[in-house]
Amino acid sequence: MGWGLESEARESAEEADAIMGMFINTNVAALNAQRNLNVTGGKMGKALEQLSSGLRINRAADDAAGLAISEKMRSQIRGMQMGMRNAQDGVSMIQTAEGALNETHAILQRMRELTVQAGSTILSASDRTSVGEELLTLRNELDNIASRSRFNGLSLLTGALSVTTATAIGNIAPAGTATVAIDVSRADAGTTYNVTDDNAGAVTVTNATTKVAQTITAAAMGGTIGDSQVLNFDAVGVKFTLNQTVGGAITAINIGDGLNAAIATAAGDGNATFRVGSEITDNVSVGFNDLRSSALGGAGTELSTLVADNTAVGSTTLADALLGALDTSISEVSTQRAKLGAAQNQMESAIASVAVSVENLSASESRIRDADIAMVSSELVTRQIMQQAGVSVLAQANQAPQAVLSLLG
C-alpha cells in the first residue's frame, strides 16, 4: 500500500511540472532548434562555397595561417615561372650570337686559306693584290656581322652589351651650385654623346655615331637648396638630373653654359645577366666578348691593323704575320663559342631544375589551398540532412505551445 501511494504522488508531481513548464511567450525549444539550424546553414554555405570555387581557403578567416603560407608559395611559383621565361629568352639570345659566330668562323677559315696561299712565292704582285682585296672584303664582313648581331636591340658581339657607366660632368656653379647626375641606362652602349648649348638655355645632346639629336630648354632654378630639375633626352637615351646643393640663383643660361661641350660616354661591360629564379641571387651571367676585327688577332696584331687595305699579303712575311693572327682569332672565336655553349647548357639545366621546383611547390600550395572535393561533397550531404531535420524539429517546436489550449478548454 505504501509503494502505491508513493508512485501516485510521483506521477502527480511530474504532471504538475509538465504543466508548469508550458510557456507561450518564450518557446525555448524553438529557439534552440533555430540556433542549431543557423549553424547548420552556415556550414552548408561554406561547403557550397568550397565546391563552387574549388578552394578550401576563400578568405583569411577560413585559415589565416594557411592563407599566409600559400600566398608566399604563390609568389615563389610565379617568380620561378617568370625565371623560366627569362632563361628561355637567354637561350634564344645565346643561340642568336652563336649562330652569327658560326659564320664568323667560316670567314676566318677562308681568310686563313687565302693567307696560306699567299705564303707561296709563286704569286705575282697582282695576284697578291687580288687576294688582299678578298681578305679586306672578308674582314669588313666580320665587322658587319658583329654590328648586325642584335637581340631585342642589344649588340651581342661588340663588347658593349650592357650600359654601365657614364663620364661625369662637373658642377654648375654660378651664384648657387647644382650637381649633375647622368643616367645612360637607356643609351646605346659604347657610344659617345656630345652636349652643346645655344647660349640661351637650350641644351642639345647628339649621338656621335648616328647623329640623332634632341634639344631641351632648361628652366631657371629658384636658388633653394634641394631644388631639382630633370633634362630627359629620351630620344637619345640620356638623362641629366640637376640638384641644387648651395643656395643662389641659377639661370637657364648658367645651366646651358655648365653643360656645354660636355661629353657623356656610355660604356658597356659585355655581360648579360639573366634571373632564372624568384630570388635576387638566382642569376646567370653570360659574357659576350668584342669579336670585331679590331679585337681579334691579339694585342699589336689585330686583324683590323694587319688587313687595313689590299696589301695585307703583299709579301710572304706579311702573310706569315697574318697567318699567326688568324690562328689566334680562330682560337678566340672558338673559345667564345664554347663559353656560349656552356652557358646555354647551364640555362637549359636551370629551366629543368626550376620546372621541377614549380611542380613541387604547386603541389604543396594545392594541398593547403585547394578543397578536397570528395570530403566537401560528403560534408554537404551531411549538412543538407541536418538542415532538413532542423527544419522539421523547428516546425514541431513551433507547434508545441498550442498544447496549452487544451488546458484552457
Judged against a pLDDT cut of 90, whether residue 12 lies above it is answered with no
Mean predicted confidence (pLDDT) in 5-12: 51
Distances in whole angstroms, Cα of residue 261 to Cα of each of 98, 170, 199, 204: 40, 11, 12, 10
Percentage of the chain exceeding pLDDT 90: 44
Judged against a pLDDT cut of 80, whether residue 262 lies above it is answered with no
Least confident of 22-36, 82-96, 309-323: 22-36
Mean predicted confidence (pLDDT) in 369-389: 89
Cα separation of the two ends of the chain: 35
Confidence of residue 376 (pLDDT cuts 50, 70, 90): confident
What is the spatial distance between Cα 4 and Cα 334, in angstroms, rounded to a whole number? 117
Judged against a pLDDT cut of 90, whether residue 164 lies above it is answered with no
> Residue 4: its pLDDT value, please?
52
Contacts of 352 (CB under 8 A, 6+ apart): none
> Residue 41: its pLDDT value, please?
87
Confidence of residue 6 (pLDDT cuts 50, 70, 90): low
What is the spatial distance between Cα 185 and Cα 86, in angstroms, rounded to a whole number? 20
What pLDDT digit, counting tens, does each position of 174-233 carry? 777 888 888 876 777 667 888 899 888 899 999 888 889 999 999 988 778 888 899 999
Mean predicted confidence (pLDDT) in 260-264: 75
pTM of the shown model: 0.67
